[in-house]
Chains A and B, each alone.
Chain A
Amino acid sequence: MTTPPSRPGSAVHDARAARHSYSAEVLERLSADAEQILAKYPEARSALLPLLHLVQSEDGYVSPAGIAFCADVLDLSRASVSAVATFYSQYKRHPNGEYTVGVCTNTLCAVMGGDAIFDRLSDHLGVGHDETTDDGKITLERLECNAACDYAPVMMINWEFFDNQTPGSAVETVEKLLAGEPVKPTRGADSVATFKEVSRVLAGFDDGRADEGEAAGPATLVGLELARKNDWRAPAGRTEQAAEHEAGTEPVGDTGSSAERKPQAPADTSPSGPTAGDDSDAKGSGKEGSA
């Protein structure tokens, strides 16, 4: 990079931004939140990860004040809290942008275009991995696999999915962020919340947005659609069998029709019909395939 971007991790930046203590009001609010978090766990220390998310929701990173707060709440040393905070990649050591734009550059996404997307964004924004634009809007990151490989290449903005990206679509999206316009994930909430807002959700505070968005994207449904089209099903279970049995006990046919015919041959009483057929289709078919 020819022009070095502002490095939020630099001493100059830290001196300007680092927060070392909270006001009484903030402390009171955080303490009330912490109490709710602690109530979920049989042992207090289990609350540390959510508490670190909570202090990120206050400061936009894990500040010295945040470390001290967690240490005080859990009666741990600040060193113990720092040791945990530095282990996990979602905890930021310096002020994060309003939006973390992460591009998966693990193997599959990288090959499918993730490397090219990251390079294009890096050029476009003038920042590298874990660096933030001067206006504090965007922190760019290389991500490890985010469990959406069937939508490769994948970009995450504040941990919401942007599937099937191209360098062009990624640039378009970050342009909107820079312009202060809302952006919509391909699978997720109706719009991307800020880094601080999302951190508060991860601390365990529901933001009431679970019902936004779709149940599933197209790749999630591709196998199910194929099964529906071909009428492929799992073997019928007890519940369905019971329903079929019940249906079969209804009187059917007129007097003297085949419905009144008494069983005469073994075939008349052996199981047959779609249920058994489905069953035999599904089971053992793998073994046949191998032969």
Chain B
Amino acid sequence: MTTLTPVLSDLWDAPRSWKLEAYQDAGGYQALRTALSMETADLVTMVKDSGLRGRGGAGFPTGLKWSFLPPPDGGPRYLVVNADESEPGTCKDVPLMMANPHVLLEGVIITSMAIGCHRAFIYIRGEVVHVYRRLLAAVEEARAAGFLGENILGSGYDLEVVVHAGAGAYICGEETALLDSLEGRRGQPRLKPPFPAVAGLYSRPTVVNNVETIASVPLIVANGADWFNHMGTERSKGHGLFSLSGHVAKPGQYEAPLGITFRELLDMAGGIRDGHRLKFWTPGGSSTPILTDEHLDLVLDYESVGAAGSMLGTRALQVFDETTSVVRCVSRWNDFYQHESCGKCTPCREGTYWMKEILHRLEAGKGTEGDIDLLLDVADNIDGRSFCALGDASAQPVKSGIAYFREEFEQGLHTPAWELFPYEANALYSGVAS
């Protein structure tokens, strides 16, 4: 049996855990002292050796990403933390920053030092104002303690951290769109190559990493690469936050080694709500193809979830029971992609619009002959043909939904989804009265 491994979440139940004092009492900023005594190349090697892979969904090896920066040329280099957590189902970075902003900040300082950056940015979505307050306050606390600013802890190393609030756009979670947004433009993705490592923010070498990725760095530095890579599976190392939501008895954050199974997590979350059974779930947000009760024993690491035809993504496990209409869910996810499509490329902009027309018909029981094949055809014309991953993502709920539950889409030719699956049966109110 796999057990939970609270690392990033370990401080969350401490009194006023967001304060510098609480973080330091738990050993915080010791890793920074260790890092200041190390060669920067050794820091990069250490993170490479740990096996840490990007926690924002793509799973790219973090140390390798850092090592792609060209040799220093005397000009600026940037670290940009992607704190634009917006992928439907994903809810790990926001509580992490709310409860312990300093672990992120310590990671930012160590990473900046490792890549030779003197001005780092944390790009946080604008729709979580209290989390933004906590980050702003943490930066001020860290500066007053000498962990930020000029000559950090007498090391001669200087760093400024800017916390930047976005303004509501899912696409800004895509790293190049994020950079355009941070440059004060519409958040639209850039053509790659050049990758941000070569020409990122202000066309300078830039590392863009997710919050949880950067927050994992201090503990790797403190405990060593081996400590980290002894957790997890062969190619998916370390611990990660698994976020369970939906029709489970105890939704929430569960920090476990990668490689825990869905069944183990579901058991920890008290199983499906009373009197109901699992129907379908997403392993890592709405952009990862849905899975079903056939996949209960799936090992949640990058390789195994990939082999099952989906993606580990952000470990956002949205769980739906048998009362839920797949057509309704797929239709609503597509509404999201259509709403958030930046409009830059035709397959995504037009494709999500036409899929919306068809899915709304099917949900209302007014589908026409051939709609399902048409839907699949449109999805295929987006998937792999759009400018960035948003378009590809929009095709996933549609394709996987039809693959596992085609008969429900066929019923959409004559019966509304709300008659097949009365929507009032889905709601789960934990409050007193509705």
Contacts and interface: CB of A to CB of B under 8 A. Distances in A.
A107 B130 contact: no
Nearest to A209: B133
Interface stretch (A8-16, A25-33, A228-236, A256-264): A228-236
B351 interface: no
Interface string A252-291: 0000000000000000000000000001011111111110
A107 B336 contact: yes
A287 B233 CA distance: 6
B17 A215 contact: yes
Interface string A214-226: 0111111111111
A47 B184 contact: yes
Bin chain B's interface residue count.
35 or more
B42 to A, nearest CB: 15
Contact of A289 (B2, B90, B234): B2
Interface string B244-267: 111100111111111111001000
7 contacts: A49-B167, A87-B342, A88-B187, A147-B93, A221-B252, A237-B219, A239-B222
Nearest to A150: B251
Interface in B220-274: 222-224, 227, 230-234, 239, 242-247, 250-261, 264, 268-269
Interface of B: 1-7, 9-10, 12-19, 27, 30, 76, 85-91, 93-95, 98-100, 119, 125-130, 132-134, 136-137, 140, 160, 162-170, 181-187, 202, 219, 222-224, 227, 230-234, 239, 242-247, 250-261, 264, 268-269, 286, 297, 299-301, 304, 316, 318, 320, 324, 328-329, 332-333, 336, 339-340, 342, 423-424, 426-434
A146 B136 CA distance: 20
A52 B168 CA distance: 12
A46 interface: yes
Nearest to A240: B223
Given A50-B165, A149-B91, A216-B98, A234 B7 contact: yes
A232 B3 contact: yes
B47 to A, nearest CB: 16
B246 A112 contact: yes
- Residue among A145, A153, A159 with the most chain B CB within 10 A? A145
A232 B427 CA distance: 33
A112 B245 CA distance: 10
Contact of B243 (A45, A149, A216): A149
B393 to A, nearest CB: 13
Given A235-B5, A287-B299, 19 more contacts: A46-B183, A87-B342, A107-B336, A111-B329, A116-B434, A147-B128, A169-B432, A185-B130, A204-B163, A210-B134, A220-B95, A220-B253, A228-B13, A235-B231, A283-B232, A285-B257, A286-B261, A288-B2, A290-B261
A90 B173 CA distance: 16
B227 A286 contact: no
Nearest to A159: B129
B167 A215 contact: no
A45 B164 CA distance: 13
A220 B324 contact: no
Interface string A117-156: 0000000000000000000000000011111111111001
B184 A289 contact: no
Contacts of B119: 42
A110 interface: yes
B3 A223 contact: no
A87 B165 CA distance: 15
